[in-house]
Amino acid sequence: MTHVAVLHGGVSAEREVSLATGAQVVAALRAAGFTVTAIEVTRDLGAVIAALQAAAPDVVFNALHGRFGEDGCIQGVLDWLGVPYTHSGVRASSLAMDKEAAKAAFAAAGLPVAASRIVSPEELEAADPLPRPFVVKPVNEGSSVGVEIFRDGDNRRAEVARAWRFDRRIMAEAFIPGRELTVAVMGDRALEVTEIDTGNIFYDYEAKYADGGSRHTLPAPVHPAVRAQAMEIALRAHRALGCRGVSRADLRYDDTAGEPGQLFLLEVNTQPGMTRTSLVPEQAAHLGIAFPELCAWMVREARHGP
């Protein structure tokens, strides 16, 4: 019987999300017939390595989110240990987590991205980096941590710049009006398009994880040509980064002038949430793939190396 170690927790701002993901993955894998050991990850990397060596799993299910969990760091450790693991390898993980590098890869692949530039906190404090409305976001955080939108009349820019606590590279990006769409990719297959509706200004951390924070419409009520294009963009983005296993592409759909509108790729998440109600499991279930079956498929697809 295959023995799977599930890494969850971690040290990023998304620790609680990872703990929730890990708990549900552990239950799903046990339901699918695997022997499972849960390993909670803390800042003590030596303890994590010791726990992995003591468990001696056949496969690691990486249920970590955010920095050190999906940016290539833990993937490098697992490569060093020679243990196959779920999701993407070092190269794709580090590319996807760095929004500047990922956007360059998307642009090189001919994918539609919003206009953007990288600025320092001092440059942001001094002047608007782009015409308003624009968005600023950390280059290497997930789950919309640190994202701010600046519209006409908003005088918070200098305050936000002075309080900036993330990487000194700030991505300023043109704000795309319209609707929030997301597409899961499973191996070489785009699953479906979900529209995410929230009463918040944008799909922020609270909307993603608070009870009732957002509503998912599956399949998204969009023009058929837009659905097909969104699925194609997600699959091409997955390939452009060199992802494997499961990923999720987030897009904005500007239909303010009517349908069919214009799609923009925002980012690819190589470690999407994996609770039963998360976006990827929802899309899989829509296609008849139960949550334990999805988790089992990810274990079977586990690899190590780039």
Which of 39, 69, 87 finishes a domain?
Answer: 87
Confidence of residue 167 (pLDDT cuts 50, 70, 90): confident
Residues 121 and 108 reside in one and the same domain: no
285 lies in some domain: no
Flag the least confident range among 59-63, 156-160, 173-177, 212-216: 212-216
**210: domain CATH number?**
3.30.470.20
What are 128-137's pLDDT values in tens digits?
Answer: 999 999 999 9
Tokens of 166: 């993330």
Residues 104 and 204 reside in one and the same domain: yes
d(CA 120, CA 124): 6
What pLDDT score does 277 carry?
82
299 lies in some domain: no
Active-site annotation, residues:
14, 143, 209, 248, 250, 267, 269, 273
d(CA 284, CA 34): 20
What pLDDT score does 18 carry?
94
Q: pTM higher than 0.85, yes or no?
A: yes
Residue 273 has pLDDT above 60, yes or no: yes
| % of the chain at pLDDT higher than 70 | 94
What pLDDT score does 204 carry?
44
Q: Rounded mean pLDDT of the chain?
A: 92
Residues 108 and 207 reside in one and the same domain: yes
Burial 227-262 (b: 16+ CB within 10 A, else e): bebbbebbbbbbebbbbbbbbbbbbbbebeeeeebe
What pLDDT score does 200 carry?
52
Phi and psi based region of residue 26 (left: phi greater than 0; alpha: psi -120 to 50; beta: remaining): alpha
What are 168-194's pLDDT values in tens digits?
Answer: 899 999 999 999 999 999 999 999 999
Average pLDDT of the segment spanning 156-165: 93
Q: State the alpha helices, DSSP H only, in the chain.
A: 15-31, 45-55, 73-81, 90-97, 99-108, 121-126, 157-162, 205-209, 224-241, 279-286, 291-300
Residues 141 and 264 reside in one and the same domain: no
Average pLDDT of the segment spanning 220-224: 97
Residues 145 and 192 reside in one and the same domain: no
306 lies in some domain: no
Q: Which residues contact 148 (CB under 8 A, 6 or more apart)?
A: 135, 136, 137, 156, 160
Q: In three state form, how does the secondary structure of 94-129 look?
A: HHHHCHHHHHHHHHHCCCCCCCEEEECHHHHHHCCC
Name the burial class of residue 201, with classes exposed (0-12), middle (13-18) and buried (19+) by CB atoms within 10 angstroms of its CB.
exposed
Residues 46 and 21 reside in one and the same domain: yes
Q: What letter would DSSP give residue 301? A: T
**155: domain CATH number?**
3.30.1490.20
284 lies in some domain: no
How many domains does one find in the chain?
A: 3
Find the length of the chain. 306
Residues 100 and 221 reside in one and the same domain: yes
**Cis ω before 133 (30° cut-off from 0):** yes
297 lies in some domain: no
What are 89-147's pLDDT values in tens digits?
Answer: 999 999 999 999 999 999 999 999 999 999 999 999 999 999 999 999 998 876 567 89
Q: Which residues contact 278 (CB under 8 A, 6 or more apart)?
A: 21, 272
What are 6-55's pLDDT values in tens digits?
Answer: 999 999 888 999 999 999 999 999 999 999 999 999 999 999 999 999 99
Which of 158, 174, 190 finishes a domain?
Answer: 174
Average pLDDT of the segment spanning 274-281: 90
Residue 213 has pLDDT above 80, yes or no: no
**60: domain CATH number?**
3.40.50.20
Range of the domain at 145: 116-174
183 lies in some domain: yes
Residues 57 and 109 reside in one and the same domain: no
Average pLDDT of the segment spanning 233-251: 98
